[in-house]
Amino acid sequence: MSTQVAPSILAADFANLQSEIEMLNASEADYIHVDIMDGVFVPNISFGLPVVEAVNKHAKKPLDVHLMIVHPDQYLKAFKEAGAATISVHLEACPHLHRTIQAIKELGCKAGVAINPHTSVELLKDIIRELDQVIVMSVNPGFGGQQFIEHTYAKIRELKAIITATGSEAIIEIDGGVNLDNAYKLMDSGADVLIAGNFVFKSKDPIETIKSLKEL
């Protein structure tokens, strides 16, 4: 699989969100990554359903919705109706993870699980065959612009081994601190999708920056 890129609109200019989405439409991005934060599961609040609906009106790329929230089951249907193509929940927030994944799939969305930097990939063994994707957090969730955690490379290799051994078709997304300095090593370790926020939106030419990631 060639490198796939999912720019995170957490780093976009919210005052010009429509133009930012139209820029992504014109780019080689594969998905638009949407981080939902509740101020409880993570120490920050991003945006909610009305913004996702607004983004979906203009987006021509699939919305990859990442729920960094407690009690995500209560909102799955609402995010599907708002335009989510993929919904990922955090393992740490879901006491009945298998049930949550099945609920996402019953809505017709692809289902993913995100894991925090301290969470072992071993905990995914019993669910990995049910998943479409795993988001490996390479920073502590809650804020953009953080420093990349170097242990992520080993974690990706461990996860890839589990996926291969179980025959799972799950893809691996990396979220946090992604740039051209670490992107090749991430892909070489087994990543499939690079989520990039500040690196894309704060660059002089976001479309060219996305292209440079795609060409790895």
The residues annotated with a catalytic role in the active site are 35, 175
Residue 77 CA to residue 80 CA, distance in Å, equals 5
